[in-house]
Structure 1
């Protein structure tokens, strides 16, 4: 059966397999950085870059094995309309995050942390500063390439756009399960945090739908993470960390 005529179930299976492949490649590629003797910041940087390349590698595997070219990704230089979506989308993600976190705290739901906040709270604040450019140059492009550019587009070939966005967002949220669980091994806290990440992914998915340009969710994802890490640095460096605060990125 060709990929062009693949059934919805097959497409979901391929999308899930690509997600698993991305995670496996991320782990395998980051192992060398964890095995060599480097200072904490350098080791974290190399491991992060290599792990994000795992998502890129999974996307490349799909494009090569299905004989799809770069035009499949719908990457174009953003025009003024697209840049407007970038600004509005970044603001929307921040507003959503604020409302979601305040809502969770209002009803007494816990939130999970992550390995980045753990490093920062242990005194390696330079990690947060380093993540500002890395979010824009590495994290946003790598994750959006796989999840929006490849997986969402592939699922869109068998479903209407809404189910494709939702299914992609489920996979995107689940990818963050290991790091959130390691940081906070509390099922409820992890579940709440993944639900918030699911919502963030829904917004990113629709930005891709509305603009038909992968550069838009790439920029929004990268800018959102970069601003989040920058603000976290300012808060943590001022020793004014709110009780129960959590970073959802």
Structure 2
């Protein structure tokens, strides 16, 4: 017969794990903010907003932002004794690469479906912060492709999948962990979208987009137990989004650059 003490401990584990996951998220954002301080020293205009800075300042700021996020996750693993062995980073098998392709297709299809639903139902959505930052600067758009592939996708997937989501495994099932980690990931963007959106409805629409994308990447991680798979799918999606934006500007395609789901959640912790 299970004792009341054991039962109480077991019931408290989910709450504790959830609080740890939230704390890790906050720690990641703090790490990102602290890591960007050298960029402000290099380009003081960053203090007025990322969009006001030079291309060099913007580039350094965003790179340091994601480096800081990754370092926060690494500090947690070191402090808790989990170490490098906790990181599921390895070359994918043939099946793993198939999952990458499936994830790329699913995430791109998700964006198209969201665009259709938003337009058919006339749903409001917050303007993408990234569009506001890069504007019509095609050089910055190309730089952003490199940033999302080599810094954004690896940092976000490492922190939110391999650290936050995997930590939740200790108290929840795999898919419960995906749902909870995706919820936390979407809520991280709440302050950004509140600042950019014209209404609560627009904010909720944008958060729903973030949640759906996180579900896809979190599921890829569950299925393969390999961090490289969601990183590759995430990087490909973001590169695709910036590629669409670049071509829209190059060929003067109206509406694409400002579509609410054209580019979503690339820079969760940058001020508008």
**Alpha-carbon contact 1:94-1:224 (below 8 Å) kept:** yes
Match of 2:238?
225
**Alpha-carbon contact 2:35-2:68 (below 8 Å) kept:** yes
Residue by residue over 1:36-94, the C-alpha shift from the partner in whole angstroms, topping out at 9 and shown as x without a partner, is 33762111111111111222122112101110022212221111111111111101100
Which of 19, 22, 25 aligns to 1:19? It is 25
The two structures, once aligned, show a CA RMSD in angstroms of 1.8
Change (3 A) 1:187 1:16: same
Q: How many residues align?
A: 244
Which of 29, 33, 45 aligns to 2:35? It is 29
**Alpha-carbon contact 2:131-2:263 (below 8 Å) kept:** no
Give 5+ residue unaligned stretches, structure 1: none
Change (3 A) 1:132 1:36: same
Match of 1:248?
263
- Deviating beyond 6 angstroms after TM superposition, the runs of 4 or more aligned structure 1 residues are none
- Displacement of 1:185 in angstroms is 4.7
- Displacement of 1:187 in angstroms is 2.2
- Displacement of 1:125 in angstroms is 2.5
**Alpha-carbon contact 2:22-2:184 (below 8 Å) kept:** yes
- Displacement of 1:156 in angstroms is 1.0
Distance in 1 between the 2:140 and 2:202 partners?
24
Distance in 2 between the 1:32 and 1:228 partners?
29
Distance in 2 between the 1:188 and 1:13 partners?
27
Instruction: State how 1:34-73 maps to structure 2 within 5 Å.
Output: 34-37=40-43, 40-73=54-87
Highest CA radius of gyration, 1 or 2? 2
Distance in 2 between the 1:49 and 1:202 partners?
25
Give 5+ residue unaligned stretches, structure 2: 1-9, 46-52, 265-272
Instruction: State how 1:104-115 maps to structure 2 within 5 Å.
Output: 104-115=118-129
- Displacement of 1:234 in angstroms is 0.6
Distance in 2 between the 1:56 and 1:242 partners?
34
- Displacement of 1:183 in angstroms is 3.3
Q: Are positions 1:128 and 2:134 aligned together?
A: no
TM-score by length of 1: 0.91
